[in-house]
Amino acid sequence: MTAISSVNRGILTVLLSLAVTFQAPLAVGADGGSVRIQDVRLGKGGLLTTRVVDLQGRPMSGQSVEVLHRGELVATAESGKNGLVTIVGLRPGQHEIVTSSGSLPCRFWAAETAPPSAISVPAVVNDASLVRGQFGGFNLPILVYAGATIGALVVGVHAMNSADDAQAANARLNGEVAALEQRVKELEPPASP
């Protein structure tokens, strides 16, 4: 390997790391924008109280609510009067509160360790008219990072191929030079005494 190919590999590694790091926000909303994870203060015994509302903020009763931890279902309940749901036995950590057409990424905290910004009753918007894009809609930063990553891969592979081609050509020329030197030695007349 030459110094050029190791430098290109370093650049490629940095570009790929940046692309992976910056293309995935913590959560993506239906409009393609980043969604901040909501800090939620649990009550005694891991009590979660949440409210299911529509897009206008009106409470919705009779809605199924699930709590997921790392994609695994940990609790389920149905919203009652005023859209309220209570679930006990939850532990601190990152969770998602999910309804039939809405979700809220949360970080649950024990009451004594919750940050001051944590809320006690998060609201989950549940509305059938809410439409989600597979990738959150058009997202220019992700396209830019993907383009930069692909460009870096192309440049890196081209540089490695060019370096390998140059090494092969150099070895071939060295072999030809050695053969010519041998031929010249054979053609030289013997030295006179």
pLDDT in tens, 127-140: 765 455 444 555 66
Neighbours of 91 (CB within 10 A): 11
Q: Is 39 helix (H, G, I), strand (E, B) or coil?
A: strand
Residue 101 resides in a domain: yes
17 inside domain: no
Digit-coded pLDDT (tens) for 134-190: 445 556 677 777 778 888 877 877 788 787 888 888 888 888 888 888 887 777 776
Specify whether 104 is located in the same domain as 155: no
Smallest CA-to-CA distance from 48 within 80, 75, 82, 81 is with: 75
- Same domain, yes or no, for 158 and 181? yes
Based on the fold, state whether residues 119 and 81 are members of the same structural domain. yes
Q: Are 47 and 86 found together in one domain?
A: yes
Q: Which helix (H) or strand (E) holds 181?
A: helix 140-187
Domain count, the chain: 2
| In-domain check, residue 57 | yes
Beta sheet of 48-53, edge-to-edge order: 84-87, 48-53, 123-125
Average the pLDDT over 26-55 and give the result.
Answer: 77
Q: Is residue 18 helix, strand or coil?
A: helix
Residue 90 and residue 115 in one domain: yes
- Other Cβ atoms less than 10 A from the Cβ of 63: the count is 21
Residue 35 sits in a domain whose CATH number is: 2.60.40.10
Is residue 154 included in any domain, yes or no? Answer: yes
Give residue 164's domain range.
3-11+140-187
Tell me, what's the pLDDT at 27?
44
Examine residue 74 and state whether it is found in any structural domain, yes or no.
yes
pLDDT of 30 higher than 50:
no
- pTM (2 d.p.): 0.50
146 lies in the same domain as 183: yes
- Structure tokens belonging to residue 188: 């030289």
Tokens of 90: 């939850």
Same domain, 121 and 42: yes
Does residue 131 sit within a domain?
A: no
Convert 55-117 into a string of H (helix), E (strand) and C (coil). Answer: CCCCECCCCEEEEEECCEEEEEEECCHHHEEEECCCCCEEEEEEECCEEEEEEEECCCCCCCC
Q: Does 71 or 141 have the greater pLDDT score? A: 71
Q: Is residue 77 in a domain?
A: yes
Closest among 42, 37, 30, 55 to 88, alpha carbons compared: 42
Q: Is the pLDDT of residue 18 over 70?
A: no
Residue 94 lies in a domain: yes
Domain boundary among 125, 152, 177: 125
Q: Are residues 36 and 65 in the same domain?
A: yes
